[in-house]
Structure 1
Amino acid sequence: MLPDQITPPAVTARLGHGTADQDAVVGNAASRVFADHDDARADPWSIDLERIQFSPYFSRLSAVTQVVSPSISGAPVHNRLTHTLKVSAIARVVALQLNTISRRAGEGDVCNATVVEAAAYAHDLGHPPFGHLGESTLNRLAREELDLPDGFEGNAQTYRILVSLDVVENAPRGLNLTAAVRAASAKYPWAPSVAADDVERIGPPRGIRRSPDGAYRVHKYSAYDLDLADLDEARQGVDAEPLRQSIEGAVMDLADDIAYSVHDVDDFYRAGILDHAPIAAEFRGWLDDVLEWRARDDDEVRAELAPGAGLERLRRKMRRDDPWIADDEAFLAAVSDVDAEMVTDLLARPFDGSLTAERRLAAFTDRWIRRFQESARLRPLDTPRAGPVVLSPWAWHHVEVLKFVHKRFVLSRPDLAIQQRGMSRILARSVRALGEWLDDDLDRARTPRRLRELIALAREQYSALPAEHRPADAERLARSRGIVDYVASLTDAQAFALSEAISGRADRLWALGQRL
């Protein structure tokens, strides 16, 4: 085993290597919330994987934007489903690789590959229409207009789908998954109401930041208050450390980062969106004056528009947010490598659809994914902000630089921003119109049945909260949560159709199909 690797005892225990007490932990990890006759048919984690794969929420991902709609680029790009399939493939390889390393060191398996695969298939179920733009828009609407204190978060919506919204024959709600899969699906295993003392005990993990006034700001989380009791129960079943991902959840998270950093380059190079000239200028502008950039003060760098300033701001952000791993020399190596292999070698030759271009792009993608997969390793649980499985410092810096290219030269494009503003209005129009419809005493009974069922489910959950945590305005919050659950479950096309139909567009009357 490598010097910076560990095998937490709970990991080996829950996979069934050892004493009777350890076998009991395995039983907890495989337990479900409700009695389930399918447990006798196969191993419980394979059943979970099957249930997620056959879920209509999973099928829906093929019609949900990953970063941009194919209609923007004019070329095939990843949607949420193709992204999910790649995350699952990467995650399974990493899980098996960790087990191989552990066996060579004379230890048992440290990771359940089937649980990892199930969590990877589940990880994006909660993403709403229109990608991350839809997520931020729904969060703003949920907090500012619907007064939901825990807002909207794609990861929390994923967990809500798994344990509350989706259905299976043998349970009154949710897919009735094992504790291990539910825990692994929680990338940020806490709710917005996480106690400051718990954060202070380990230092803020990724997803929680300390504000200038010393308070903690939770900007990523995997459970709404309504579903937190289920998450707490699931995590007890796998003996996960407080506020730490399970081993399987950490592998899923790492695989998501790898896929995201590499296949966006694939997409936008094919589509001709990654313009070589400005990207090359940015990289050369920083590499040619590394020492000068480092010597400049923060205010000056924040205001700078010259090529290279974006990379320098990224370097400073990494040092500020993750000082335990950020390293100036590793950052320089990452920028140099990405400049040589992506900017100079790949992007300098436009994609022309030829087999030669396809082979060059495939070689680039395969090479980087393999490097990142092979760099995965276990880490001590007291490492700040890190899960139990992380990329090596070399790989982490390279992933951050690759993601920078996507954020700076794709997401900041004015043409994308224009369409995203329109998408934001589509969601806002639908949320507001549904709220007004529910307020209409004369026509409330004709609101979509699914919407009324989602509100009833949220009402039931609020009623089940302990008295000390039950809000006084539970009825209003149930209505708000039901509206958000309804709109978030739509595909891109369904969201557009609902917005148009609810505005009186006759040609959109039947576009929603059976969704209403």
Structure 2
Amino acid sequence: MAEGPAVRGLAAETSALENPGSGYRDADAERMVAEPFKNSYRSPFERDRARVLHSSALRRLGAKTQVVAPDSDDFVRTRLTHSLEVAQVGRELGRVLGCDPDVVDTACLSHDLGHPPFGHNGEAALNELAHAIGGFEGNAQTLRLLTRLEPKVLDSDGGPAGLNLTRASLDAACKYPWLAADAPVVHGHRTSKFGVYTDDEPIFRWLREGAPEGHSCIEAQVMDLADDISYSVHDVEDAIVAGSFQLAELGDSDNRNRVIGYTQQWYLPHTEPAEIDAALERLEATEVWVRHSDGSRAAMGSLKNMTSQLIGRFCQSALDTTRAIYGSQPLTRFAADVVVPQETIIEIAVMKGLATTFVMTTDRRQPIYQHQQEVLHELVAILVASGDQHLETMFAADWRAAQNDAERLRVVIDQVASLTDVSALAWHRRLSTLVP
């Protein structure tokens, strides 16, 4: 990949930004690799959204775990349906704030592209396997995929440029705009989250030109909030429909304390249990709270109404607070931040804590998680030992171009991360019989 900007002859495309006073500059619509202008009826940001929507990486999310494996239930959400829901929430939230809806939509559709098979459990396994080469992080893998792995555009040297999205869209998809070494210290501890691998730093420096160091743009903040809101509510809906629990069970003090404990442990380590309990009480006091669902059409309708109303509650809270601070002008790029009241932050975290308590940490899930980790460990070992023999054509070419063992391991990690839950299991079964 080129070390610096290769942007020339972009006047034709950047002129497609319809409203020069919208808060976006021509530089926001630049691409790393210059492209000829193709039509006049789509803005550069609309083209970005279309590229992600038509990408193979987005299609693969249909067979990747959100919380529960996609093949376990016809109702359960996958990474793909989750991403579509995040895009709907984020697009509307961003539009009301004055962001370009297509920039936010692109970021929302992209935000989980880098997630490997088996959800966060798979991410933890690959991070362990890639420890010596800088680790594995789903958000950093998303940037790598958008700018290198997904086939669409080549640079002037014939190297991969991924989807070659505009600077604004790439930056909006960058949830953690820093390298692992530059990760911020929060409450005395350096966060393990980061948005770019060291060998992808050149494109990262390009897309962050002019950006405040370590500070995400408002479009990325909208994407992040839409993601939080969507999965906090929808994971609870999925768990209830799957029969994992009923909200009425919170009347039991042991269950309630477990939810408060997991919410604090996983999401709010510096929040007092009383504040978490108060947030839960506020949610329980809403008219839409469904304490019991029997699976009837009426009950399912009530449950769906609860999810819709809670999404609206959380979004409206953020909109009202942000507008009270910044006024009614369009808010784009680094002109403002999304402001979420603390009470709303805790309410969203409580919803996450419900799914954590009744789905992700149950004893019956642990053998499944263990098997998934074993599959990925063994699959990576087999592929490392067998060279380019079993890699897909594009990854085999990357393997042959690699200069050392570290680069070759990264290629294997890229290959395995691209697999779906189903294909990872199938590859493991097939290759385990071929390799001694």
Which residue among 359, 363, 370 is the counterpart of 1:410? 359
Q: Does 1:245 align with 2:194?
A: no
Alpha-carbon distance in 1 for matches of 2:54, 2:66: 20
Assess if the C-alpha contact under 8 Å between 1:250 and 1:390 holds in 2: no
Q: Which residue of 2 aligns with 1:481?
A: 410
Distance 1:235 1:131, change over 3 A: same
Alpha-carbon distance in 2 for matches of 1:15, 1:268: 44
SS at 1:193's partner residue?
Answer: helix
CA RMSD in angstroms comes to: 2.9
Q: Which residue of 2 aligns with 1:55?
A: 55
Which residue among 283, 286, 293 is the counterpart of 1:338? 283
Q: Which residue of 2 aligns with 1:257?
A: 228
Q: Does 1:449 align with 2:433?
A: no
Deviations 1:75-111 (A, max 9, x none): 5200011000000000011112213xxxxxxxxxxx2
Q: Which residue of 2 aligns with 1:433?
A: 382
Alpha-carbon distance in 1 for matches of 2:95, 2:30: 23
Q: Which residue of 1 aligns with 2:69?
A: 69
Q: Does 1:129 align with 2:117?
A: yes
Alpha-carbon distance in 1 for matches of 2:101, 2:307: 23
Q: Does 1:397 align with 2:346?
A: yes
* Percentage of matched positions with identical amino acids: 32
Assess if the C-alpha contact under 8 Å between 1:15 and 1:26 holds in 2: no
Q: Does 1:192 align with 2:135?
A: no
Deviations 1:131-161 (A, max 9, x none): 1111111111111xxx21x210111100000
SS at 1:477's partner residue?
Answer: helix
Q: In the alignment, residue 48 of structure 1 is paired with which amino acid?
A: D
Q: Which residue of 2 aligns with 1:495?
A: 424
Distance 1:414 1:328, change over 3 A: closer
Q: Which residue of 2 aligns with 1:351?
A: 294
Distance 1:320 1:279, change over 3 A: closer
- Which segments of 5 or more consecutive residues in structure 1 lack a partner in the other structure? 1-13, 100-110, 212-216, 286-305, 382-386, 439-443, 460-473, 507-516
Alpha-carbon distance in 1 for matches of 2:168, 2:213: 15
Q: In the alignment, residue 63 of structure 1 is paired with which amino acid?
A: A
Deviations 1:317-372 (A, max 9, x none): 87754xxxx58875443120234459x9523x2332x2211221121111101111
User: Bigger radius of gyration, 1 or 2?
Assistant: 1
Assess if the C-alpha contact under 8 Å between 1:75 and 1:271 holds in 2: no
Alpha-carbon distance in 1 for matches of 2:267, 2:373: 30
- Which segments of 5 or more consecutive residues in structure 2 lack a partner in the other structure? 1-17, 327-335
Q: Which residue of 2 aligns with 1:225?
A: 198
Alpha-carbon distance in 2 for matches of 1:319, 1:488: 29
Alpha-carbon distance in 2 for matches of 1:30, 1:44: 6
Q: Offset at 1:445?
A: 5.3
Distance 1:319 1:219, change over 3 A: closer
TM-score normalised to structure 1 length: 0.72
Alpha-carbon distance in 1 for matches of 2:406, 2:314: 43
Assess if the C-alpha contact under 8 Å between 1:130 and 1:492 holds in 2: yes
Alpha-carbon distance in 1 for matches of 2:169, 2:243: 39
Q: In the alignment, residue 335 of structure 1 is paired with which amino acid?
A: L
Q: Which residue of 1 aligns with 2:21?
A: 17
Assess if the C-alpha contact under 8 Å between 1:437 and 1:447 holds in 2: no
Alpha-carbon distance in 1 for matches of 2:259, 2:289: 21
Distance 1:87 1:448, change over 3 A: closer
Distance 1:277 1:370, change over 3 A: closer
Distance 1:168 1:447, change over 3 A: closer
Deviations 1:26-84 (A, max 9, x none): 11110001111246543110111000001101111111111111444x45200011000
Distance 1:405 1:85, change over 3 A: same
Q: Which residue of 2 aligns with 1:34?
A: 33
SS at 2:356's partner residue?
Answer: helix
Q: Which residue of 2 aligns with 1:388?
A: 337
TM-score normalised to structure 2 length: 0.84
Deviations 1:376-395 (A, max 9, x none): 244989xxxxx921322232
Alpha-carbon distance in 2 for matches of 1:351, 1:131: 29
Distance 1:264 1:131, change over 3 A: same
Assess if the C-alpha contact under 8 Å between 1:93 and 1:373 holds in 2: no
Q: Which residue of 1 aligns with 2:6?
A: none
Alpha-carbon distance in 2 for matches of 1:54, 1:362: 29
Alpha-carbon distance in 2 for matches of 1:310, 1:266: 16
